[in-house]
A = this chain, B = another copy of it.
Amino acid sequence: MKQEARSRKHELSVAICIDLGGTDLKSAVVDSSGKILHQQSTPSESKKNKKKILDNLISSISIEEQWAQAQGFRIQGVGLGIPGIVSYPEGIVHRSPHFPDLKDFPIKKLLQKKIHFPLVLDNDANMAALGEGWIGAAKGKKNYLLMTLGTGIGGGIVFDGKLLHGDSGFAGEVGHIVIEREGRRCNCGGRGCLEMYASATGILYGLSPSLRRRGLGGGLTAEHLYHLALQGNKTAQKIYKDFGKALGAGIASLVNVLDIELVMLGGGLSGAWKVFIDSTRQSIARHTYLTTAKKIILKRALLGNNAGLIGTARAVFVGY
């Protein structure tokens, strides 16, 4: 009996999943149903150089590997989500605002040399989109879009259950849709990108002239403003209303181009859903044909901070 139980356990396939975040380097062992069996986290120290980042990744993978092997699990592969623009299928980091030293770093090739399992690697928002489609808010949907609203805006577009990668793997940069061509200057060098309106950066941009005039400036974050808005502060409410309106214009553009009905919102700022979503819906209706607007389903992402980790497991088990 004991023998039999152990051999059954042996058959359990797991993925080692890594989410290299701007703040934390998270890793996990995830089974083929998307369940997290073991998880750990350590500061990612983004100032570190690429050699050190690579070493940290290898170290996290190694710990998860030991844990999984001690349990007698079969490791099917390693999945990694990277914050930044990553080429596909080569896995070269093109640009990563959080990890400047990773620029043009062939991370997939170098990491694959050091580990014994097949490695899959993609942008973190892409991985999160996969996770949500697997066991989250888009479960069972073939076509959907995830927008992650944080300091900037990330995105993952899924058609027929597969990520849309484009020519080089850079598709899904939905934060750089131009919604006001003579608008705010963006880090990308452009003007009027969605990211400058519908992100924490956009919130604080909206804050500077208006709130500061009212003595509400210094040190305020998008979260403070969210609570102020909930408490009825008109200026904070207006800032979130503008945020929602800009987001709606961006979603309208995306829907008109992609004809995707399910749009999921994730990332820290999606937590402020209740103070902006009405103006988002109004703005979508304003910028699309009525019949299109009616079809759109806006949903909050379900998997929270684990979406990326779980998505890498989906990429390992099912593909991406």
Contact = CB atoms under 8 A, between A and B. Distances in A.
A257 B95 contact: no
A302 interface: no
Nearest to A174: B257
A171 interface: yes
Given A165-B259, A166-B260, A190-B288, A180 B177 contact: no
B259 A168 contact: yes
B177 A256 contact: yes
Contact of A258 (B143, B164, B249, B291): B164
A100 B181 CA distance: 33
A86 to B, nearest CB: 12
Given A164-B159, A170-B259, A253 B288 contact: no
A256 B173 contact: yes
A8 to B, nearest CB: 40
B179 A179 contact: yes
Contacts of A143: 166-167
A88 to B, nearest CB: 9
A189 B289 CA distance: 6
- Which has the most chain B C-beta neighbours within 10 Å: A177, A189, A253? A253
B172 A257 contact: yes
Nearest to A292: B170
A259 B167 contact: yes
A169 B252 CA distance: 16
A254 B257 contact: yes
Interface in A160-211: 164-174, 176-182, 188-193
Nearest to A250: B178
A286 interface: yes
16 contacts: A159-B164, A167-B295, A168-B261, A170-B259, A176-B253, A177-B253, A178-B250, A178-B253, A181-B246, A181-B249, A181-B283, A188-B289, A192-B287, A193-B287, A253-B253, A254-B257
